[in-house]
């Protein structure tokens, strides 16, 4: 069977995240030699949403697939972005199926194994959306099970992320959580029906190392102290790039690990 090496990158947050990723990408590529790189870009533009310019920035520095989350919809131009940037996904279960943008797609690259990437949002402490568990079941039934399936599960609650991981185990090749910007220490292989799935509750973020979940820390502290703060802005450099590596053999996972690279 053909091995596929995949790197997934946590939410890229604002200008600090962009600078950090551009700086650390060569080191990440050198270490993991990925066939595919997937990055969550929902916070890349000012910490809230993704512009066409910044989506293309990710593609230009080597990202193959851009996933997103609930903050995709913070910008008025999100429909233009998802229509004009071919390798961007939106959380499939946040909108009806008849919307032109999608949260599931098969990707091809010359000389590499095809992959399928699915983008879903959780429901606990999140905006209303269709059930991600049922959406996964419905979409999976229409996929080619011999092609690796990678799922970005964008959710708040660790319990929901872990429940979804086990729900998709044996079907998805890898399931990883995004959204909280805090990397968990549970990267592992889980097995169901004799097939392995790589799993991690949350891969973390790419942004300010000393901010608070990517945001300027003084702004967040002021919010806790007084119940009000200025508009959120990205924290300063230095930065960190967090994510995970998956090694897929055929369509099942054989290795996974989380990582963290520092910049500036």
Helix (H) or strand (E) holding 152: strand 149-154
Count other Cβ atoms within 10 Å, centred on residue 221.
12
**Cβ–Cβ under 8 Å, residues 156 and 46:** no
Q: Is the pLDDT of residue 233 over 90?
A: no
Q: For the ranges 51-60, 162-171, 178-187, 224-233, which has the lowest average pLDDT?
A: 224-233
How would residue 136 be classed by pLDDT, with cut points 50, 70 and 90? very high
Mean of the per-residue pLDDT values of the chain: 96
The tokens describing 177, both together, are 């959580």
Domain around 35: 3-263
**pLDDT value at residue 190:** 98
Does the pLDDT value for residue 59 go beyond 90? yes
Predicted confidence (pLDDT) at residue 2 exceeds the cutoff of 90: no
Strand partners, 9: 39, 243
**Strands lying side by side in the sheet with 104-107:** 104-107, 115-121, 149-154, 174-178, 195-200, 188-192
Instruction: Give Cα separations from 171 to 103, 133, 254 (angstroms).
Output: 17, 13, 14
Residue 54 has what pLDDT?
98
Measured between alpha carbons, how far is 264 from 255 in angstroms, rounded to an integer? 30
Number of domains the chain is built from: 1
The predicted model gives 25-42 an average pLDDT of 99
- Given a cut of 80, whether residue 194 has pLDDT beyond it is yes
Over pLDDT 90: what percentage of the chain? 92
Contact between 135 and 171 under an 8 Å Cβ cutoff? The reply is no
Tokens of 207: 């942004």
| Positions marked active-site | 71
Q: Does residue 23 register a pLDDT over 90?
A: yes
Cis check: omega of the bond before 238, within 30 degrees of 0: yes
What does the pLDDT average to over 190-202? 97
Of residues 213 and 1, more confidently modeled: 213
Q: What share of the chain is helix, strand, coil (3-state, %, to 5)?
A: 30, 30, 40
Q: What would the pLDDT profile of 140-163 be if each residue is shown by its tens digit?
A: 999 999 999 999 999 999 999 999
The CATH number assigned to the domain holding 11 equals 3.60.21.10
- pTM here? 0.96
Tens-digit pLDDT profile for residues 209-232: 999 999 999 999 999 998 877 778
- Predicted confidence band of residue 73 (pLDDT cuts 50, 70, 90): very high
**pLDDT class of 126 with cuts at 50, 70, 90:** very high
């Amino acid at each position: 069977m053909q091995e596929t090496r995949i790197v997934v990158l946590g939410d890229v947050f604002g200008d600090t995240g962009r600078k950090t990723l551009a700086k650390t990408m060569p080191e990440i590529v050198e270490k993991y030699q990925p066939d595919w790189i997937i990055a969550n870009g929902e916070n890349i533009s000012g910490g809230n949403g993704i512009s066409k310019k910044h989506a293309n920035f990710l593609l230009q520095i080597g990202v193959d697939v851009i996933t997103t989350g609930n903050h995709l919809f913070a910008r008025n131009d999100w429909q233009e972005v998802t229509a004009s940037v071919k390798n961007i996904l939106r959380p499939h279960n946040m909108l009806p199926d008849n919307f032109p943008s999608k949260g599931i797609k098969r990707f091809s690259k010359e000389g590499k194994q095809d992959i399928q990437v699915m983008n879903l949002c959780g429901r606990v402490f999140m905006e209303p959306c269709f059930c991600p568990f049922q959406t996964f079941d419905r979409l999976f039934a229409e996929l080619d099970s011999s092609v690796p399936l990678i799922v970005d599960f964008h959710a708040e609650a660790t319990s929901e992320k872990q429940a979804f991981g086990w729900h998709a185990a044996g079907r998805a090749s890898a399931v990883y959580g995004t959204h909280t910007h805090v990397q968990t220490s549970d990267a592992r292989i889980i097995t169901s029906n004799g097939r392995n799935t790589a799993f991690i509750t949350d891969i973390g973020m790419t942004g300010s190392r000393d901010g608070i979940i990517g945001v300027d820390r003084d702004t967040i502290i002021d919010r806790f102290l007084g119940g009000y703060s200025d508009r959120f802005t990205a924290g300063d450099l230095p930065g960190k790039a967090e994510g995970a590596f998956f090694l897929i053999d055929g369509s099942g996972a054989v290795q996974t690990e989380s990582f963290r690279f520092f910049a500036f």
